[in-house]
Amino acid sequence: MLRYFFQDPFNALAGWLQSHLVLPILYATGGMRWEDIGFGWSLFAVYGLAQVLVTFAVCLPLEQLAPVERRPLGREVLTDVFYTLLSRVGLLPIVTFVLFYQVQVTVTGFFVDRGWIPPTLETLLPGLLGHPVATFFLYAVILDFADYWRHRLSHRFDWWYALHAVHHAQRQMTFWSDDRNHLLDDFLSALWFGAIALAIGIPPFQFPLLVLLLRFVESLSHANARVSFGWLGERLVVSPRFHRAHHGVPAAGRQSCNYGGVLPWWDMIFGTADFSSRYAPTGDPTAEEAMASGSYPAQQWAGVRRLGRTLLGRKLLGQGSAGYSR
Amino acid sequence: MSRPPLPTRRTLLATVPAALAATSLATSASAAAPIVGGGLAFVMNSAAANIGVIDMAREREIARLPVFRQPHHWALAPDGRTLLVGDAAGNGLFFLDPARGTMLGHRPFPDPYQLWFSPDGRFLVTAALRLNRVYVWQPGTLRLLKRFDIASMPSHIAFAPDSSMVYLSLQGTDRLAAIDLGALALRWVAPVGPAPAGVMWHRGQLLVGIMGSDYVSVVDPADGRVRERLPAGKGAHALFLDPEERRIYVGNRIAGTITAYDAASLARVRTYDRPGGADCMGFAPDGRIWMTLRWAAHVAILDPASGRSTTFPVGRSPHGLFLSNSPTLASRQGQMLNSA
């Protein structure tokens, strides 16, 4: 068994977590119906922890060696750490599993009862069956394309940007900033990807290293590091320099650039790429201070307030926007 | 060692029901494996999106057959020539040659979590755990006869020996459901214990593993009334009767044990330590019990006499387990063919 741990440490740790923590809790609380999903969550949590550790091990030295800004880490970075742990290891995966399990049951059941069985990518492209790595990469490209448009629309609509501003309000961007999102913004993202999943199926779950790689690129792109991948590399994978342009003060709000999460291709195709070599200061001047430097609850509440003002302002004024865009 | 000839489209059409012929046959050539004299075991690796094919004599995996997402359980077609494996999250039904360990094809199918043919071979019943549906199909054509919307999480399946009724545990509740297959009507839904899992018809009554507690409910199949509770370990799950019909085994998920009952008296006779999430069991010709360990990604082989067990690695979250040479299977198959 010990040898197996080194063959598949993800599963070994997830199995231990499932047997010694998740199942006893489910048993004690009358939740044994979720035991199968519990193992999915255990795997998710182990992947998440591995993502955090790998990102930490790589990005921290980079930020020390080649920082864009030299300043001591503020309290708001600690809040970003909390966001990361919540998002990748803790509560959010549980909520995602339980909530979207129910949504998926309802929606899939609706279609199945009417004779349409939601496909997987392999049923749409039968040649993919038996080639899981190729399947995974194709899923990654499709989902990254979908994420480009989700991200772009979250800047386009004022009410959506009112929530997304939590992500942009951070003035001291670090590799921890990737998961700094409003809960409602996360919810909208999950809905967005839920719809995609219904159309092409959910991606396979058996390639933790590839998942790790994708999430690592996203975290790295937020690092406070003067790192560029060179002329060609910048056009293949999103770099810290490329994504910093998106977080730069001039790009906050409606007229932004570099929306891509992992691949810069979509920005190149749709004319939103900025490959200039400047490293602008980050943040959103229109965001209230609580959104930038408040605690986790303060940031979340600030997002709700801004959303309320945006929606209310539109209703009262009868206008198409509430004036937060630049 | 010479490789047996690959099945052609013509031989496939001759051996599988008509509905299967309409499935995709693209994977059959690439997934071919040799016939193995000692028998083959099939392990449904539910978190690895594949089915492991095991050489039982060498206790080693010899092939992995890809599926879409989550293979969970299986059913052997009444003619014994086709093994059906349900891919629940992938909404697909896969067809395998149990003798050769090859993939024959697949077709779209709504959430086939558990599936089983009635003893008379007239019905295929599938439990769509995720969708809260139970489907009754006509084997061969796979024409839907009736859909039942039953909340929540219909899971394990057991039939009355005369195929008049099918019973399903509703894992998301404390209930067991009974469906009259003659009338295609829901007869009763009754409380049997929290998060019921495995169901087994045994000598005129139903045994139900109560996963949310530590017992097996003995249930009256006429009305679902609980007659008795048999003590088990915490997290009692699926139940299996050995080929000699002397012992009944139940895996206990939380306790990490397996409880053995005397099949005649239902008295608990032995408890085996077997952590790792024991799930599906199969009885090998040598008397040993093969079982999937869901959280350990291993298959364990338990010698019930000595209590010793060995393990070997398989894919992630192994769930369903099919042994091609199991005496239990031969007995059940004979029963199905005789009554068909």
**Hey, of B146, B292, B295, B299, which one would you mutate to test binding to chain A, going by the most A CBs within 10 A of its CB?**
B295
Judge whether B318 lies within some domain: yes
- Rounded-to-integer distance, Cα B310 and Cα B325, Å: 20
Judge whether B124 lies within some domain: yes
pLDDT of B328 reads 79
Q: Model confidence at A313, in pLDDT bands (50, 70, 90)? A: confident
Strand, coil or helix: what is A308? helix
Per the structure, the complete domain to which residue B290 belongs is given by 42-339
Residue listed under structure tokens 């009944």: B248
Instruction: Give A43's contacts in chain B (Cβ within 8 Å).
Output: 47, 316
pLDDT of B339 reads 41
- Rounded-to-integer distance, Cα A243 and Cα A245, Å: 5
Strand partners, B257: B252, B273
Question: B168, B150 in Cβ contact below 8 A?
Answer: yes
pLDDT of A201 reads 76
Which stretches in chain B have pLDDT values below 50?
A: 1-32, 334-340
B171 contacts A120? CB cut-off 8 A: no
Strand partners, A151: none
> What distance in Å separates residue A247's CA from the closest CA in chain B?
37
pLDDT of A74 above 80: no
A179-213: pLDDT as tens digits: 999 999 988 888 888 788 778 877 666 666 666 77
The sign of the CA dihedral B197, B103, B31, B288 is: positive
Backbone angles phi, psi at A133, to 5 degrees: -70, -45
Judge whether B300 lies within some domain: yes
Residue A112: closest C-alpha in chain B? B110
Question: A159, A211 in Cβ contact below 8 A?
Answer: no
Any B CB within 8 A of A18 CB: yes
pLDDT of A40 reads 84
Judge whether B134 lies within some domain: yes
A8 contacts B297? CB cut-off 8 A: yes
- Rounded-to-integer distance, Cα B129 and Cα A163, Å: 36
pLDDT of A277 reads 81
| CATH classification of the domain holding B115 | 2.130.10.10
Question: B53, B72 in Cβ contact below 8 A?
Answer: no
- Rounded-to-integer distance, Cα A292 and Cα A281, Å: 14
How many A×B Cβ pairs under 8 Å? 124
Strand, coil or helix: what is A248? strand
Pairing of strands B92-97, B154-159: unpaired
- Rounded-to-integer distance, Cα B285 and Cα A291, Å: 67
List all residues of chain A from 243 to 302 with a beta carbon under 8 Å from chain B: none
pLDDT of A48 reads 81
pLDDT of A204 reads 64
Encode chain B in three state secondary structure: CCCCCCCCHHHHHHHCCHHHHCCECCCCCCCCCCCCCCCEEEEEECCCCEEEEEECCCCEEEEEEECCCCEEEEEECCCCCCEEEEECCCCEEEEEECCCCEEEEEEECCCCCEEEECCCCCCEEEEECCCCEEEEEECCCCEEEEEEECCCCEEEEEECCCCCEEEEEECCCCEEEEEECCCCEEEEEEECCCCEEEEEEECCEEEEEECCCCEEEEECCCCCCEEEEEECCCCEEEEEECCCCCEEEEEECCCCEEEEEECCCCCEEEEEECCCCEEEEEECCCCCEEEEECCCCEEEEECCCCCCEEEEECCCCEEEEEECCCHHHHHHHHHHHHHC
Number of domains in chain B: 1
Judge whether B152 lies within some domain: yes
Question: A221, A246 in Cβ contact below 8 A?
Answer: no
B235 contacts A120? CB cut-off 8 A: no
pLDDT of A245 above 50: yes
Any B CB within 8 A of A113 CB: yes
Question: B210, B217 in Cβ contact below 8 A?
Answer: yes
pLDDT of A146 above 50: yes
Judge whether B271 lies within some domain: yes
A205 contacts B47? CB cut-off 8 A: yes
B317 contacts A39? CB cut-off 8 A: yes
Residue listed under structure tokens 């998440």: A48
pLDDT of B29 reads 36
pLDDT of B10 reads 28
pLDDT of B27 reads 41
Residue listed under structure tokens 């050539």: B29
Task: Quote the crossing angle between the two packed helices A75-88 and A296-317, to the nearest 10°.
Answer: 90
List all residues of chain A from 40 to 99 with a beta carbon under 8 Å from chain B: 40, 43
pLDDT of A207 reads 63
- Rounded-to-integer distance, Cα B165 and Cα A45, Å: 42
For A16-20, A105-109, A169-173, B24-28, which range has the lowest pLDDT when averaged over its residues?
A: B24-28
A77-94: pLDDT as tens digits: 889 999 988 887 766 666
Residue B210: closest C-alpha in chain A? A32
**Closest residue by Cα to residue A282 from A68, A76, A106, A129:** A68
Judge whether B78 lies within some domain: yes
The sign of the CA dihedral A234, A235, A236, A237 is: positive
pLDDT of B308 reads 96
Question: B38, B56 in Cβ contact below 8 A?
Answer: yes
Judge whether B20 lies within some domain: no
Question: A88, A179 in Cβ contact below 8 A?
Answer: yes
B254 contacts A109? CB cut-off 8 A: no
Q: Which two tokens stand for residue B198?
A: 């495995």
Residue listed under structure tokens 């349900």: B86
